[in-house]
Chain A
Amino acid sequence: MEQGNQLTAAAVRAAFAGAADFQERHIAPQGRRGFVFFLDGLTAAASIADFLLHPAVQALHGSAADMVAQCLEGAVWAAVAQPAGDLAAATDYLLSGFAVLLFEGCGRAVAFEMKSGDKRAVAPPSVEHTVKGAKDAFTEVLRVNTTLLRRHLRSEKLQLREVIVGKTSRTRVSVAWLQGAADETVAEQMLRRLETVETDSFITPAAVEEAVSGARWSAFPLLRFTERADRFAQAMAAGKVGLLVDGLPLGYLAPVALGDFLASPEDEGVDFVTASCIRVLRYAAALLSLILPALYAAMATFHQEMIPTKLLHAIIESKAQVPFPTALEVLGLLIAFEILQEAGVHLPQSLGQAVSIIGGLVVGSAAVEARLISPAALIVVAVAGVAGYVIPGRELANALRVWRFLLAGAACAAGLFGLSVAFLALLLHLGGLNTFGLGYLRPFDRGTTGGSILRRRTVLPPHTSQGGSA
């Protein structure tokens, strides 16, 4: 063992020197000097007193090595007791809500789980609402999240492997998958990536996503997140591999395809016909959100003959006295829309709504009345923005926001020709993306997936077979 990693009381004290929440308690069972170390707040003091100090002082006897063995054999009543052979292990346990019992002159310690019960209660999802679905969302505590998963998926085949990631943050990360349903190679690949991540902290969602998906040059998400335990469990059953990170109230799922971001938890709460119709609507809304401003700019600047005569007259009338060309108008409004959206996100909810109302309605109406912008352009950008909100996966919606600008820019520069070039570039980009070896455009590949845009029936009638027409 390295000299610096030797486990002594002095070494533990030195490791946490100056930490205000570091606590030390001396005990002397059978006259042998022992130290109990714990971090206040992470541990429950009452549990330490009742289940560690009390039995330790009363029941332990013999040499220090004997006492350690007795602790591990159940003389101390804590449910979880783990040996800690060096300073690093003892430190890890302390930081994970364990109390560490160390006897003088013995190079081994025992860590008892004494985690504090102070944590956020399981609450309904704040983003992924459903009318009929479950109301338990993930919290910041990894063990609570794995418990929720176990409750939704009561199968011994559910695998949960834990990895510590981050040199400084020492974040516990659980990789979950359902044996027999998931591709084991994907799970192994995920574990391998996590084990080889070279990072100081693994706390933020971006750090997790970049580490797992490889920080690619793409706005499109390569991991899906959900705050719903039921959705996570359902994805496990469907063969996905999950990732739960301590400190993040969400679970990540891989591999993903474009269609995953257009599926909503509400789809599982309604019949498959309604869900399929709504899903088609979402695809249409996503397309509308992506190309509508570009299409309007292209048609109003280059291809007016494509606009029906009455609509063209209406647009021309609405553009009368507006000093800006259509291209500038559309790009300016797109920027204004993004600014408003960003302002709404960073402000408290009540203020955010006020900003949206003032920005969207008051400033928008005033700008139209002042002839700074035309109502047609305002309507186009607003419709594109609202259509973007139909997309259940916010990460995909954000990626489409980026590409909406690119497409609009190309359309303003070269009309439908530019729009076509930019759209082609987008398709090529999407076609080149893959997660864990699986293509991003899988939903549109009938050869491998049979097409998965529509929601399939979860239970088939007994007289039909999978793929039957009945």
Chain B
Amino acid sequence: MKKRLAFLPALAAAAAAIALLSLLPFPRHDVADLRPIETLTVSYEKGLVRLSGSDCLGLGNTVAEALEDLKRSTDGHVFLSTATQVILVGLGQELLPLLVKAEALRPAASVAAMARAPSDPAAAGRYLSTHRSGLTVQQVAAAMAQGTAVALPLLTETEGGYRLAGYVPG
């Protein structure tokens, strides 16, 4: 029986060693340290990529730099896996392929474009969460792979609300 159980400490030691040596293929972040972003706003102004959401802001010359800055400048760990809406503002629409390639966003996140930055990004996010744009990051990635163009649904801020045009029924 002892012989049969000898593998248990060995397995435990192997698992502990892997964990302690940080060889795990996934990072360790306690849930309390997470800063989840639900609506990510992407814009491009004066040569700077600007990523913002949930009081977090990242600036950089490229999408990668902006993502890095977003992670570094935030108190806690920025968690983009909860981002269910991505709003591309103005020239930020051109950054969509780079964002998709960065693989920082969840595939099911819906994508919409805006001509100008929303006055209340949280309200825009809430609107998008109930009126799905019909275009997801995954669909954009598929279109990129196929070499086809995608039409971005356009979110417009109206007096006291929002309106979604170019909606693609999902």
Partner of A432, one of B4, B28, B31: B4
B36 interfacial contact with A, CB 8 Å? yes
What's the least CB distance linking A28 to chain B, in Å? 62
Interface string of B49-90 (1 = CB under 8 A from A): 000000000000000000000000000000101101000000
8 A Cβ contacts from A298-321 to B: 300-305, 309, 312-313, 315-316, 319-320
Flag whether B145 is at the interface (Cβ < 8 A): no
A431 CB to closest chain B CB, in angstroms?
Answer: 10
Number of A-B contacts defined by CB within 8 Å:
87
Residues of B with C-beta under 8 A to A303: 26
Nearest A-chain residue to B20, judged by Cβ: A413
Provide the residues of chain B in CB contact with A429, threshold 8 Å: 5, 8
When C-beta atoms are compared, the residue in chain B nearest to A307 turns out to be B31
Q: Does A425 contact B (CB under 8 A)?
A: yes
Interface pick from B9-17, B93-101, B132-140, B159-167: B9-17
Inter-subunit contact B34/A304 (CB<8 Å): yes
Contact A301 B5, CB 8 Å, known A414-B15, A417-B15, A421-B15? no
Query: In the complex, which residue of chain B has the Cβ closest to the Cβ of A413?
Result: B19
Q: Is B31 in contact with A410, judged by CB distance below 8 angstroms?
A: no
Which residue of B is nearest A305, CB measured?
A: B81
User: Are A326 and B1 neighbours in the complex by a CB distance under 8 Å?
Assistant: no
- Interface-central residue, B1, B5, B12, B15, by most chain A CB under 10 Å: B15
Is A119 positioned at the interface, with any CB of B under 8 Å from its CB?
no
Could you tell me if A320 and B15 are in contact, using CB atoms closer than 8 angstroms? no
Q: Which of A217, A316, A415, A429 has the most CB of B within 10 A?
A: A316
Residue B120 at the A interface, CB < 8 A?
no
Q: Which residues of A contact B149 (CB under 8 A)?
A: none
Cβ–Cβ contact B32 & A313, under 8 A: no
Q: Which residues of B contact A326 (CB under 8 A)?
A: 30-32
Are A316 and B34 in contact (CB-based, < 8 A)? yes
Q: What does the 1/0 interface line of A269-296 toward B look like (CB < 8 Å)? A: 0000000000000000000000000000
Closest chain-B Cβ to A126's Cβ sits at a distance in Å of: 34
B-side binding surface: helix, strand, loop or mixed? helix
Q: Which B residues from 34 to 56 make CB contacts under 8 A with A?
A: 34, 36, 38
Within 8 A of B (CB), among A196-237: 216-218
Q: Are A300 and B31 in contact (CB under 8 A)?
A: yes
Q: Is the CB of B30 within 8 A of A300?
A: yes
Q: Which residues of A contact B5 (CB under 8 A)?
A: 217, 429
Do B32 and A414 touch (CB < 8 A)? Answer: no
A322-B32 in contact given A309-B82, A309-B84 (Cβ < 8 Å): yes
- Kindly provide the distance from the CB of A320 to the nearest chain B CB, expressed in whole angstroms: 7
Q: Does A254 contact B (CB under 8 A)?
A: no
State whether the Cβ of A380 lies closer than 8 Å to any Cβ in chain B. no
Residue in A304, A322, A410 with the greatest tally of chain B CB atoms within 10 Å: A304
* Interface magnitude class on chain B: 20 to 34
How many whole Å from B161's CB to the nearest CB in chain A?
Answer: 23
Question: Which residues of B lie under 8 Å from residue A316 when comparing CB positions?
Answer: 31-32, 34, 36
| Interface size in chain A (residues, C-beta < 8 A) | 33
Complex Cα–Cα for A300 and B30 (A): 6
CA–CA, A432 and B28, complex, Å: 34
A425: which B residues are within 8 A, CB to CB? 7-8, 11-12
B31 near A304 (CB under 8 angstroms)?
yes
Q: A422 in the interface, Cβ–Cβ < 8 Å?
A: yes
Q: Which residues of A contact B38 (CB under 8 A)?
A: 309
What residues on A are CB-neighbors of B29 within 8 Å? 301-302, 304
Q: Which of A325, A413, A428 has the most CB of B within 10 A?
A: A413
Asked if A259 is an interface residue, CB under 8 A from chain B, the answer is: no
> Given A312-B36, A326-B31, A415-B26, are A304 and B81 also a contact pair (CB < 8 Å)?
yes
Q: Write out the residue numbers on chain A whose beta carbons fall within 8 Å of the beta carbon of B12.
A: 410, 421-422, 425
- Check if A255 is an interface residue, CB within 8 A of chain B: no
Docked-complex contact A305 and B106, CB < 8 angstroms: yes
| Residue A364 lies at the interface, judged by CB distance under 8 Å to chain B | no
Q: Which residue of B lies closest to A324 (CB)?
A: B32
Closest to A328 in B: B30
Q: Known pairs A217-B2, A302-B24, A421-B14; list 16 more (Cβ under 8 Å).
A: A302-B26, A302-B29, A304-B29, A304-B81, A305-B81, A309-B84, A313-B36, A327-B30, A413-B15, A414-B16, A414-B19, A415-B24, A417-B15, A417-B25, A421-B11, A424-B11
Q: Which residues of A contact B (CB under 8 A)?
A: 216-218, 300-305, 309, 312-313, 315-316, 319-320, 322, 325-327, 410, 413-415, 417-418, 421-422, 424-425, 428-429, 432
A-B contact pairs, 21 of them (CB 8 A): A217-B2, A217-B5, A218-B1, A301-B31, A302-B27, A304-B29, A312-B34, A316-B31, A316-B34, A319-B30, A319-B32, A326-B31, A410-B15, A413-B20, A414-B15, A414-B16, A417-B18, A421-B14, A425-B7, A425-B11, A428-B7
